[in-house]
Chains A and B, each alone.
Chain A
Amino acid sequence: QVQLVDSGGGVVQPGRSLRLSCAASGFTFSTYSMHWVRQAPGKGLEWVAVISSDGNHDYYADSVKGRFTISRDNSKNTVYLQMNSLRAEDTAVYYCARETRDHETLWAFDYWGQGTLVTVSS
């Protein structure tokens, strides 16, 4: 069965960095685009970033552009989110999510990780 396991969250000071990981299993990881979505405490969903199946293309929300980098290692079935210059407003639960269809980007996310909480605070 498809499984996504998010990890790497924690408490970090403003301006510091953190790297999140999402380990995938139960499907052919290398054929699916992968996304990161976040949710601040008590707030709505915010899309963060996407990476193509081959890792050659990535896109970001304006709110994180230039600070966050999404990457993937298809040999390890893992997608990453490198977060630099963290701000208080980046505090959220971060979810990785799988694109609905392989070899296509339908901008719909059919499987989600359990989420990992990132708290940016001094």
Chain B
Amino acid sequence: QSALTQPASVSGSPGQSITISCTGTSSDVGGYKYVSWYQQHPGKAPKLTIYDVSNRPSGVSNRFSGSKSGNTASLTISGLQAEDEADYYCGSYTSSSTPYVFGTGTKVTVL
């Protein structure tokens, strides 16, 4: 099972909106609602940001939103803030022999 494909880096200025894509196949992202997103700051454990494609855990800012179209999921961060600078990973259940796969990761830079 190959990792889901994400852009290596995305950047934006404070206050802007950015979108990170996560491309898989019909065997993972396209076939199931179990798509989640994680934020990871350097040296820290990942933090769940979105689950079930578009649900936000309690305590996560409503500036984070998720969606899916076909085999591609997306994470949008609106009103970009300095604290949003981090690595972001998508993840999805898959029907392959390895039941879960993460994306390749995206480094978000706030200019």
Q: Using a CB–CB distance below 8 Å, which chain A residues touch chain B?
A: 35, 37, 44-47, 50, 59-63, 65, 95, 100, 106-110, 112-115
- Tell me whether B105 and A59 are in contact (CB under 8 A): no
What would 19 more interface pairs be, CB under 8 Å, given A108-B51, A109-B46, A113-B45? A35-B100, A44-B89, A45-B89, A47-B91, A50-B99, A61-B98, A62-B1, A62-B98, A65-B97, A95-B45, A95-B46, A107-B93, A107-B100, A109-B38, A109-B48, A110-B48, A110-B51, A112-B46, A114-B45
Question: In the assembled complex, how far is the CB of residue A104 from the closest CB belonging to chain B, in whole angstroms?
Answer: 11
Instruction: Compute how far the CA of A61 lies from the CA of B98 in the bound complex, rounded to whole angstroms.
Output: 5
Count contacts on B: residues with CB < 8 A to the other chain. Answer: 26
With the chains together, A3 CA to B62 CA distance in Å? 25
Any A CB within 8 A of the CB of B92 = yes
Could you say which of A44, A47, A62, A108 has the most chain B C-beta atoms within 10 Å of its C-beta? Answer: A108
- The answer on a CB contact under 8 Å between A45 and B91 is yes
